[in-house]
Structure 1
């Protein structure tokens, strides 16, 4: 099966039997986020098995271009395109709250580059927050081995400031101040529910202040 990307290019190793499909980016960029993503996926499976939360990674949309039907009961996909995801990577339900987030990693030591996000993701956060969802950016500083949940409202604020000529990154000091630290655990290795509990409590406190 031929799978193409929106630019019309094929991945570097397309057509090799048994070889994984790799996006046409540099190897360092392509691998960014995979370690964090795996830890989140493992944590989500644990939370599901222990009935603590139901959170899933959204599948990457694929547009089918050419499909053969050698048999009436079977279809063979010959060509398809990866479509850009329209929203964030993860969503689900935790203690009655709709949860929505995206996971990013950076090798930077002083700040998180906003270029790691896209306008459609920020717009999605806005819509979810307007409906009372709990939204955040899962950010890891790989060199420092630090992981935080940054509320989507803070990410949006920096994004909007960027559009008005502000800085193009979120300082680590700000993430430490406004975010919630995710500490390493045993099972799961990345136990992020305690940090999520803190975020929910902070949101509730803000809501009480406005009543």
Structure 2
């Protein structure tokens, strides 16, 4: 008979030793399938980006040459935190900008402004300035095609309003602070957005070309 130390009378079996082992807790696995994932592909472009993408489509397909006008600025002060980098710290606008876009379509000069609002039933006139109205009047006087693209973001509706109607309203209704949407719907054209091009405004410009 064997003498076991500390009063143990037998060798522990496999079953008994298993109870002496420290149990390692299983790694917690998240089973929450209700968490919402961010759908990055559904993030929409802003109105200006959609117009720029539309113009790129027109250019690449040889349909029109329309570009966004650069804003003229005068640089006053530049810092150089590194030799290879320059940082503009002070600048001002050299002159008031006219409209956002200009170009050529089927031999016609095209000039237009793009505006967006969160309002549902009116478009604020504060978005337009006197020098822009004068500029569009000058374009029309030279038989150019001028218009404004108006986007109502809240109701997701986009309209092309010929500049002649904008100018008339601006001159005759100076006491009002906004253009009612019913005026825009009556005098303008609704643009049905597509995937490509996103804002097919040339379909309406074709109608404006017919009256020139």
2:146 matches 1:135: yes
Structure 1 counterpart of 2:161, from 133, 150, 154:
150
**Inter-partner Cα distance in structure 1 for 2:54 and 2:90:** 31
Q: Match for residue 55 of structure 2?
A: 44
Quote the RMSD (CA, aligned, Å): 2.2
**Inter-partner Cα distance in structure 2 for 1:114 and 1:200:** 27
Q: Match for residue 184 of structure 1?
A: 193
Q: Which deviations, in whole Å up to 9, do the C-alpha atoms of 1:143-175 show, x marking residues without a partner?
A: 111101101011111111233x3x222211111
TM-score (norm 2): 0.71
Structure 2 counterpart of 1:100, from 104, 111, 116:
111
Give the secondary-structure state (helix, strand or coil) at the position aligned to 2:173.
helix
- 153-162 vs 96-105, which deviates more? 153-162
TM-score (norm 1): 0.71
Q: Match for residue 172 of structure 1?
A: 181
Q: Match for residue 127 of structure 2?
A: 116
Gaps (5+ residues) in structure 2?
1-44
Is 1:91–1:98's contact at 8 Å kept on the other side of the alignment? Answer: yes
Shift of 1:82: 3.9
Is 1:158–1:169's contact at 8 Å kept on the other side of the alignment? Answer: no
Gaps (5+ residues) in structure 1?
1-33, 205-211
Q: Match for residue 91 of structure 2?
A: 81
**Inter-partner Cα distance in structure 2 for 1:49 and 1:82:** 34
Shift of 1:67: 5.3
**Inter-partner Cα distance in structure 2 for 1:161 and 1:93:** 31
Shift of 1:186: 2.4
Q: Match for residue 9 of structure 2?
A: none
Give the secondary-structure state (helix, strand or coil) at the position aligned to 2:102.
strand
Is 2:150–2:159's contact at 8 Å kept on the other side of the alignment? Answer: yes
Q: Which deviations, in whole Å up to 9, do the C-alpha atoms of 1:63-109 show, x marking residues without a partner?
A: 0113589xxxx995644424164211100001111000110011112
Is 1:60–1:82's contact at 8 Å kept on the other side of the alignment? Answer: no
Is 1:67–1:75's contact at 8 Å kept on the other side of the alignment? Answer: no
